[in-house]
Structure 1
Amino acid sequence: MSILKIGGATVNQTPLDWKGNSSNIVNAIDKAKSMGIELLCFPELAITGYGSEDLFLSRWYPEKALSQLKSLLPYAKDISICIGLPVRIGEALYNCTAVLEDQKVKGIVAKQFLAIDGVHYEFRWFTPWEAGKITSFDFFGEAVPFGDMIFSKNGFSYGFEICEDAWRGDLRPGYRLKTRAVDLIFNPSASHFAMGKSQLREELVSESSIKLNATYFYVNLLGNEAGRMIFDGETLLAHQGKLLLKNKLLSFKPYQVNAFEISSLIRELPEIKSDHDKNLEFTSAITLALFDYMRKSRSKGFVLSLSGGADSSSIAVLVAEMVRRGVEELGIETFLKQAHLTLEIKTSNPTKEITEHLLTTAYQGSDNSSCETLNSAKSLAESLGATFYNWKISEEVSSYTQKIEHAIGRELTWAKDDITLQNIQARVRAPIIWMLANLNNALLLATSNRSEGDVGYATMDGDTSGSISPIAAVDKHFILQWLQWAEKHLGYSGLEKVNSLQPTAELRPQDQHQTDEEDLMPYPVIVEIEKLAIRERRNPKDIYLILQQELDLPNVQLKNYISKFFRLWSRNQWKRERLAPSFHLDDFNVDPKTWCRFPILSGGFTEELHELDQLDQ
């Protein structure tokens, strides 16, 4: 009976960190050898990192990747290694997986289909490989087979579908591998995280093992590699439709190795059942992303303007949860080392002590701020262990207001100058909180969410100001329910006051009883319009006809909400262009640098909204 022990190695890589990337790869190989793995597969572009962007356009970068591949040859002894890298032939660059065996390059397989939707721009850098084509590649003076080929190990034949290759239906390379009767198909991937995506991958892998009549093995990159996209490090294996292997996702470790033994007994193994909870996925992804962003930027922590409201409070909890999860998985010493921190733990609660060192918060009250939000911010910060400051911005607001009143020769009033008087309060908070970030050599956390990004309900250089915007890719409705979940399921009792408050900007006088939803529309309505308008790219009339059947709203009110959304969306593209970098967390986002591009100047859907107005008349 033939037996083959295979493995998947997921690695947390960083573009241009040649030493760190190589160390992760070599350590993973050593770990695999100690586990008795005979055939080890790394993810797509593991040598360089997937997020290398226009570095791929240069000549020297792919050449450096080849030299890194050469340096790995001595480790390909008593183990076969499959690893991803870019390879240039003439003017064309290919996304490849190289197979190393007996300290030589046995062959190089090139990706046949490129990802071009959503956050992907692979056609900017790579050329797709032609199915069935094999050529010869000069690897430092040695001719190496290059193209569409299969390999064998211990009597098992195997081939590759590289990430996007597997998602192309009847065109996918797997069907040609099936005709060649391969036993095993590897899918080395750089598949970005999105809530709910793991379940789709499980279905793909399980169904592929039936359709392609082969054991199907998927391995993904890990971590916040280059700033925006997060990789979950997922490793999956399925045989005859049964999911037999799934690892722990979104690990804080620099690499993971998972093994599986293939033999005739594989048919008898029990199927794995997994749960998919979006709240857990969100928490795991964003805490790892924050940790990687902090350590890779060599920052010493985070600074946050903590208003006591939902958005800033969710970010504060996520930083504390980052510390808790990181310490739990890595241990105190390794966590501090990876974070480049020197800290002597002096208390019996190391998580709170580290949080105090890494998270500095400040409540910046104006004349329109309430005691309720101050108490909410203070009690939350104390419960997390975060450093907390409290100061007023009334003098700064008054100073700016008096100067402009003197210049224009009249007094500003709420009746005439509502937006101006609101924005100055949000905007004057930025300089002093930036001072705190600079003093601490820390990252300033911006607090805007996706719903605010849709309609521009944010002050430029105010609450949008920051080094990173952690929740800009998720809607406000999700954040509100997540806070309730975090209080109950994660044990953050300091959220009790936060969860009792109605979301408000607190920028108008308190007697006006300002709330976010009064200024905009109910957040669940924004979510439904957003899905149809941005994710599905439908026009206002279609959205009205769909939501007319789904939402219990008067027709006139629904029209007004849809019109307001499109008017505000068009008017505020310039704000979205200037938002701080954000993590990709959902199946779509409004970041023009990743998912959704829209003209800064446009006709603003004038004709389309007129067509909407004419309906039902």
Structure 2
Amino acid sequence: MAAIKIAGAPVNQTPLDWEGNLSRIILAIQEARSRQVEILCLPELAITGYGSEDLFLSIWFPKKALEQVKALVPHCEDITVAVGVPVRLENQVYNTMAIIEDGKLIGFVPKQFMALDGVHYEFRWFTPWEANRLIDFDFFGEKVPFGDQILTHKTIRYGFEICEDAWRGTSRPGYRLQKRGIDLIFCPSASHFAMGKTQERRELIEFSSKTFDCYYCYVNLLGNEAGRMIFDGECVLANKGNILSRNQLLSFQHFQVIDFELSPQEQSIAPTLEKEWEFVQASSLGLYDYLRKSKSGGFVLSLSGGADSSTIAVLVAEMVRRGLEELGLDEFCRRLTISSEHQNEKKLVNKLLTTAYQGTKNSSQETFESAKMLAESLGAKFHHWTIDEEVDSYIQKIEKVMGRELTWEQDDITLQNIQARSRSPIIWMLANLNNALLLSTSNRSEGDVGYATMDGDTSGSISPIAGVDKFFILNWLRWAEKNLNRPGLSWVNSLQPSAELRPQERSQTDEKDLMPYDLILEIEKLAIRDRRSPLDIFIILSDEMDIEKQLLKGYIKKFFQLWARNQWKRERYAPAFHLDQFNVDPKTWCRFPILSGGFSEELAQLEQI
């Protein structure tokens, strides 16, 4: 086999940014050509972005995408380029790779399997291509082959498995490609980030290169493309079961070109990061892309001094730190259309993050000091005020209408909620004045059980940590204080999580209101991720956890009742990043009826054992 250089090019694309998307692809091609790359593979749907949703169903959108391919062809002289594009054919839309060789389009290879689990709904937009089917396609008056095919460059025979194609066991295209004498398989992907997922990919890539006895090149999209999913830009080359090269993930760059020699020798293998680091890097990149693509002026955060809002404040500061390290001051600021003059890390945090502590008579001095210390240590703007006057005004008005006094004994939830809701209008004012994104502080555990006030602490433009559980957050904060050198977290980490909505003498804590956070995590993994019944969960956790059986039954019953009762809240949460193996966002991972019987029979069955 001829010794050649190939490359993968992760690109950070945006739906409907036709000019920008094409420009980044052209720049990647130019960079690859300057490095004497002979075959360059871009990710799945790189022309349009993967997250174009129902735009794929229109007639004009795939047509315009094909026109972008036509515009790209002249930029591909002296190089072979494979780029992902949707193609409409006979009233069906196909997810394809267009292959351009030396300034001429030579064919299309369509995806054969659609992803339809977790965050994926590909069958809504695309039709799978039949194995071994090959037709002629009219590309602006010129017939080119379209379908299941292999291609040749010099003496190298290469083909494609497009993302989901590679995950389909013995049905995957790779087995047929092997029988045709393949030397190189490209796997262009739009594979969303999740903590720990890169290890699953590694195992797949190693298996593929060994099983098909070929070079296997994986290349993924990059960045927060359309709001929810983040792509890590992973690019890997393997041969005979060994990883030969792997890039560092989650880059802030608009594109990367990762070149490989088709040689069995190891080249450059970036380390796999622990889960805590992955969370930092994915969240900070997600926030940066969301900020610049929404053309917002910064972030506003209601900083309570507790775990959730403190986590988000640190992630914004890490966004600045990581962005400066990778892009440099001038480029970091240029992309956000802010001046870089007289700026440094803390000054940029001060410019981009405005926080406010909104206290009541039920708030403690400890949480005030926690919020103030953290904001000052990060460099964020810090305001503080009380909302007792607003809360009292609402209470007095409703007491007059009801003809009675509201009491904690009779009106607990009402009196808690009005405090959380009274904070919302004024923090929104601050966000509006700053042309900023308001950051919502809900986490996934709260989403499970509805432990959040709608139009209160759920208010926001984006909810950065709604995809991760509270148990992870509490552990991550202790890790971050040390590993990110964030001493301002010392106050946060000394506090017991509390909503601080009841009078202090009532000793309110989150876990007293709900259940231990580590137990919520175990129940939600079984109930939501694994879709187990209440009875199944009781049997499993009875063996795995040291907890009294009647108490465990009560916690499981409480979880399912609160889950069913609060679907309407999950339907209204602000957009959230997908960061873990699963999430509870009904627009991406977990759909559930708003109205239901609430597991009444299933929970009754639980009580009978």
TM-score when scaled to structure 2?
0.99
8 Å Cα contact 2:245-2:266 kept in structure 1: no
State the match for 1:567 in structure 2.
561
Query: In percent, how many aligned pairs have the same letter?
Result: 66
State the match for 2:337 in structure 1.
340
CA distance in 2, matches of 1:74, 1:435: 50
CA distance in 2, matches of 1:279, 1:526: 20
For the pair 1:599 / 2:593, whether they are aligned, the reply is yes
Matches within 5 A, 1:273-312: 274-312=271-309
State the match for 1:362 in structure 2.
356
CA gap of 1:269–1:342, structure 2 versus 1, over 3 A, is closer
Q: Secondary structure at the match of 2:226?
A: coil
8 Å Cα contact 1:467-1:581 kept in structure 2: yes
Matches within 5 A, 1:317-396: 317-345=314-342, 350-396=344-390
Q: 1:537 aligns with which of 509, 531, 537?
A: 531
For the pair 1:214 / 2:214, whether they are aligned, the reply is yes
1:574 to partner: Cα distance = 0.3
Deviating above 4 A after TM superposition, structure 1's stretches of 4 or more consecutive aligned residues are 270-273
Unmatched tracts of structure 2, length 5 or more: none
8 Å Cα contact 2:244-2:264 kept in structure 1: no
1:270 to partner: Cα distance = 7.0
1:273 to partner: Cα distance = 7.4
8 Å Cα contact 1:3-1:154 kept in structure 2: no
State the match for 1:83 in structure 2.
83
8 Å Cα contact 2:561-2:599 kept in structure 1: yes
Q: 2:402 aligns with which of 408, 430, 434?
A: 408
CA distance in 2, matches of 1:86, 1:206: 29
State the match for 2:520 in structure 1.
526
For the pair 1:160 / 2:154, whether they are aligned, the reply is no
CA distance in 1, matches of 2:242, 2:231: 24
CA distance in 1, matches of 2:49, 2:400: 56
8 Å Cα contact 2:224-2:230 kept in structure 1: yes
8 Å Cα contact 2:252-2:326 kept in structure 1: yes
For the pair 1:259 / 2:256, whether they are aligned, the reply is no
Q: Secondary structure at the match of 1:177?
A: helix
1:237 to partner: Cα distance = 0.8
User: More deviation in 460-469 or 100-109?
Assistant: 100-109
In structure 2, what residue type is equivalent to 1:355? V
TM-score when scaled to structure 1?
0.98
1:342 to partner: Cα distance = 2.8
State the match for 2:97 in structure 1.
97
Q: Secondary structure at the match of 2:489?
A: helix
8 Å Cα contact 1:207-1:241 kept in structure 2: yes
1:275 to partner: Cα distance = 2.9
1:369 to partner: Cα distance = 0.2
Q: Secondary structure at the match of 1:143?
A: strand
Q: Secondary structure at the match of 2:10?
A: strand
CA distance in 1, matches of 2:259, 2:49: 23
CA distance in 1, matches of 2:47, 2:268: 33
For the pair 1:417 / 2:414, whether they are aligned, the reply is no
Q: Secondary structure at the match of 2:236?
A: strand
1:111 to partner: Cα distance = 0.2
Q: Secondary structure at the match of 1:10?
A: coil
CA gap of 1:72–1:614, structure 2 versus 1, over 3 A, is same
CA distance in 1, matches of 2:268, 2:224: 30
Root mean square deviation, CA, Å: 0.9
Q: Secondary structure at the match of 1:16?
A: coil
State the match for 2:440 in structure 1.
446
For the pair 1:551 / 2:545, whether they are aligned, the reply is yes
After superposition, give the CA deviation of every residue in 1:169-218 in whole Å (9 maximum; x if it has no partner). Answer: 00000000000011000000000000010011011101100111110000
State the match for 1:457 in structure 2.
451
CA distance in 2, matches of 1:563, 1:223: 39
After superposition, give the CA deviation of every residue in 1:319-347 in whole Å (9 maximum; x if it has no partner). Answer: 0000000011000110011112235225x
For the pair 1:230 / 2:230, whether they are aligned, the reply is yes
After superposition, give the CA deviation of every residue in 1:383-409 in whole Å (9 maximum; x if it has no partner). Answer: 000000000000000000000000100
CA distance in 2, matches of 1:273, 1:102: 32
In structure 2, what residue type is equivalent to 1:345? H
8 Å Cα contact 1:243-1:271 kept in structure 2: no
Aligned residues: 609
Q: Secondary structure at the match of 2:223?
A: strand
8 Å Cα contact 2:360-2:386 kept in structure 1: yes
In structure 1, what residue type is equivalent to 2:517? Y
Unmatched tracts of structure 1, length 5 or more: none
1:3 to partner: Cα distance = 1.1
CA distance in 2, matches of 1:608, 1:3: 63
1:152 to partner: Cα distance = 1.0
CA distance in 2, matches of 1:503, 1:358: 27
8 Å Cα contact 1:311-1:479 kept in structure 2: yes
State the match for 1:2 in structure 2.
2
8 Å Cα contact 1:199-1:276 kept in structure 2: no
After superposition, give the CA deviation of every residue in 1:3-41 in whole Å (9 maximum; x if it has no partner). Answer: 111000000000000011011101101110111101000
State the match for 1:488 in structure 2.
482
After superposition, give the CA deviation of every residue in 1:337-379 in whole Å (9 maximum; x if it has no partner). Answer: 1112235225xxx000000000000000011000000000000
8 Å Cα contact 2:334-2:340 kept in structure 1: no
Q: Secondary structure at the match of 1:530?
A: helix
User: More deviation in 169-178 or 270-279?
Assistant: 270-279
After superposition, give the CA deviation of every residue in 1:540-596 in whole Å (9 maximum; x if it has no partner). Answer: 000000000001000000000000000000000000000000000001000000000
CA distance in 1, matches of 2:266, 2:440: 48
1:269 to partner: Cα distance = 3.5
Q: Secondary structure at the match of 2:257?
A: strand
For the pair 1:313 / 2:273, whether they are aligned, the reply is no
Q: Secondary structure at the match of 1:267?
A: coil
8 Å Cα contact 2:478-2:493 kept in structure 1: yes
CA distance in 2, matches of 1:137, 1:341: 47
8 Å Cα contact 1:4-1:154 kept in structure 2: no
8 Å Cα contact 1:6-1:40 kept in structure 2: yes
CA distance in 2, matches of 1:408, 1:272: 68
8 Å Cα contact 1:99-1:107 kept in structure 2: yes
After superposition, give the CA deviation of every residue in 1:130-164 in whole Å (9 maximum; x if it has no partner). Answer: 00000000000000100000011121110000000
CA distance in 2, matches of 1:416, 1:155: 81
